Structures are given as structure tokens and as C-alpha cells.
Amino acid sequence: MSQVLIQDLNIRFGGNEVIQKLKLEVKAGEFLVLLGPSGCGKSTLLHSIAGLNPISGGRILIGGQDMSTAPPSERGLGMVFQSYALYPHMSVRDNLGFPLRMAGLPKDEKDRRIAKAAAMLQLEPLLERRPAQLSGGQRQRVAIGRALVREADLLLLDEPLSNLDAKLRTELRRELKQLHARLGNTMIYVTHDQVEAMTLATRIVVMYQGEILQIGSPAEVYERPSSLRVASFVGSPSINHLPGEMRAGQFCAGPLQLAGPSAKAGAISLAVRPEDVLIGADQPFAGVVDLVEPLGNQHLLWMSAGDRTVCAVLPGQAGLAAGDTVRFGFDSQRLHWFDEAGQRLG
């Protein structure tokens, strides 16, 4: 069953088309992540689902009902904003209860929901505290709790972890995933962080300049990016991009030559993930090490071959240093080819 159905959505601010003819189906119970660079229209799309900004064209259906022009309160969803603000003079309990007081819920029901959200987010010992007496992660949990108390089937989250430091972010990320597994509700989650998208999503929607480039499971988006843009956005360190051309059945990119995907002559691109770059005496290409970046359990090796730079990620500690010569090659099963326009070949 589809929880949210977006048909030919247009959103304009003045003369600026931020979302163009966007189509999207969100299935009940999925954790859908909208991923894209800053300014691509993720928040705008999320706000339009919530009813917080008017749409210029198209339709938004929630639970099968046309909600294109319905006010936010009628859409039956909870939202966690990018810049959440807790009421500083209210306790955690009152902050959690605030949306319910607005909805005029009886006290019993209000207390039950606050207790449930507090238990789920481990806020029970903190209920009488003020926001100023909480850590950043605890405040963020209260902000999520305020959306949970609505007990809506649909939860919208706009970069909810972006204000936290790296360690807290990974902790809360795990908690969110477990929360989704327990609640079984539908989540639409906005982020520009591809690691968050990969770890949380059942499906990722990759956006760019108001359009959807690709929709797929994290594995699909990573293993079979539909375009060079998606390939480059997903994965860290970034995929190696080697523009080149087909010549007599061989792909040539600077000094690198290998069997190409087609016999046709012309410009194409090869992209290879750093973990698919192989190092060894029997490998076909000669490189010079420019830089080694140790990461503890693995290291990044940046190499030059003529005018081309290639990054490899390798296990353990590096036995190489800048200036060393190496032989490298690519895992032939894991090559990504793109045409001149950056669209995937094969």
C-alpha cells in the first residue's frame, strides 16, 4: 500500500522552479531517505508533504486521500524540523505534551502517549528537566519525541542529526533505525549525508536540482548508479572518475588502457570505487604514490598515472610512502561505464 503518492509536483518560489514534475511513491512502513546536495529541494519537498508550503502544480495523496491543499493539522503526520526549537521554559514532559495540548487531548491519553514516547527514546529520567539541562543528543531525542506523541503513521524528519557531533550522530542514527523497526511506521528522512542515507534507508531517493536522479535500495544505488552524478555523490571517498575515449575497442584514459564496453569510438567515462582498485606486482598500470592517508583499520592511497589521479582504499597500515612506485589495476567485475552525457552504459 502506498502511504504517500506524489504526482507531477511543481513548486515555485517567485519565478524559481524548485521542484519540477516530481513523481514519487512512498510505501507504507518504509524508511525512505531523500538524499542530495544542499539546495536541491529536499526540505521544500518535505514541507510540501507536511502542508507547510503551497504547491504550484500536481497532487499529494496521503493514505489514499488527496491532501494537496489540506492544512498541516489534517494530514496526520509528525515532523522533526532541521532547526528544531524546544520551549526553554518548559520541562521535557511539557515539551513532549505540547502538540497534544494543542490538539485538545484528554489528560489520561496525553500522559499515556508522553510515557510511551519517553520510554521509547529513553527520556524517562529526564522528564522534569528543562532543555538547558540536557545534552545535544538528549534535546534531539525530545524533538523526535514531540513528533512521536502524535502516534502518526507517517513521520517526516528533516536532517534531524545534523546539529550533533559525529559520535552522537552515529549513536542516534542507530537508535532511529531501531525505533523504526519497533514502530513499523513510514518515515521520510531528509539528509545530505550519504552515510546516513546508506545506513538508514530501505530506499534512497537521490535528488539534484529539484529532480529525482535515481530511486533504489542502498545496495542498488551504490552498486548500479544510474548516472555519473549519482556515482560521484554516493560513496566516500568518492568514486574514481576517469574520462576517456574508445579507440579500436580499447578504452583509453591518459596512460590507462583496458578493454572497453563497446566497439563504438567516442568519448565515454569509466568510474571505479576506491575499494575496487587493486594493488600488486601483476597489475597492468604503473603509478606513483602522491599521498597516504591512514584511517586506522585501513588506509587511502592516492596515486598518479600520467595526468590521472586514482584513489585506492586498502586494509591495515600502508607499507608505502609518497614517491614510491606501485602497480595497480581495477577489478574487472566492478567497472562502471557512462556515456558522454553521464548516463550509465549497460
Ligand X SMILES: Nc1ncnc2c1ncn2[C@@H]1O[C@H](COP(=O)(O)OP(=O)(O)O)[C@@H](O)[C@H]1O
The site for ligand X (CB under 6 A) is made up of: 13, 16, 18, 36, 38-44
Q: Which is nearer to Mg ion, 18 or 213 (CB)?
A: 18
Q: How far is the CB of 344 from ligand X (least distance, A)?
A: 24
Q: Using alpha carbons, list the distances in angstroms from residue 69 to 40, 44, 78, 81, 179.
A: 23, 15, 17, 21, 30
Closest CB 138 distance from Mg ion, rounded Å:
23
18 touches, from Mg ion, ligand X, none (C-beta below 5 to 8 Å by class): ligand X
Task: Using the minimum distance from each CB to ligand X, give the nearer residue, 42 or 146.
Answer: 42
Q: Which is nearer to ligand X, 80 or 271 (CB)?
A: 80
Q: What amino acid is encoded at 243 in this protein?
A: P
| Rounded least distance, CB 233 to ligand X, Å | 13
- The interface partner of residue 120, options being ligand X, Mg ion, none and the CB cut-off 5 to 8 Å by kind, is none
We find the least distance from the C-beta atom of residue 64 to ligand X, in angstroms, to be: 26
Nearer to ligand X, 42 or 336 (CB): 42
Q: Give the shortest CB-76-to-ligand X separation in angstroms.
A: 23
Nearer to ligand X, 44 or 68 (CB): 44
292 binds, among ligand X, Mg ion, none (CB under 5 to 8 A by kind): none
- Written as nine digits, the cell of 82 is 532541521
Q: What is the 3-state secondary structure (H, E, C) of the chain?
A: CEEEEEEEEEEEECCEEEEEEEEEEEECCCEEEEECCCCCCHHHHHHHHHCCCCCCEEEEEECCEECCCCCHHHCCEEEECCCCCCCCCCCHHHHHHHHHHHCCCCHHHHHHHHHHHHHHCCCHHHCCCCHHHCCHHHHHHHHHHHHHCCCCCEEEEECCCCCCCHHHHHHHHHHHHHHHHHHCCEEEEEECCHHHHHHHCCEEEEEECCEEEEEECHHHHHHCCCEHHHHHHCCCCCCEEEEEEEECCEEEECCEEEECCCCCCEEEEEEECHHHEEECCCCCEEEEEEEEEECCCEEEEEEEECCEEEEEEEECCCCCCCCCEEEEEECHHHCEEECCCCEECC
Return the one option of ligand X, Mg ion, none that residue 194 interacts with (CB less than 5 to 8 A, by type). Answer: none
Of the two residues 43 and 226, which places its CB atom closer to Mg ion in the complex?
Answer: 43
Closer Cβ to Mg ion, 43 or 186, answer by number: 43
43 vs 214, beta carbon nearer Mg ion: 43
d(Cα 55, Cα 69) in Å, to the nearest integer? 8
Instruction: Name the grid cell of 264.
Output: 563504438
Please tell me the distance from the alpha carbon of residue 53 to that of residue 325, in angstroms, as a whole number: 57
Closest contact distance (angstroms) between CB of 158 and Mg ion is 6
Q: Pick from Mg ion, ligand X, none: which does 44 bind, CB < 5 to 8 A by kind?
A: ligand X
Binding residues (CB under 5 A) for Mg ion: these are 43
- Name the minimum Å distance from CB 121 to ligand X: 25
Q: Name the binder of 39 from Mg ion, ligand X, none, CB < 5-8 A by kind.
A: ligand X
How near is the Cβ of 144 to Mg ion at its closest, in Å?
Answer: 17
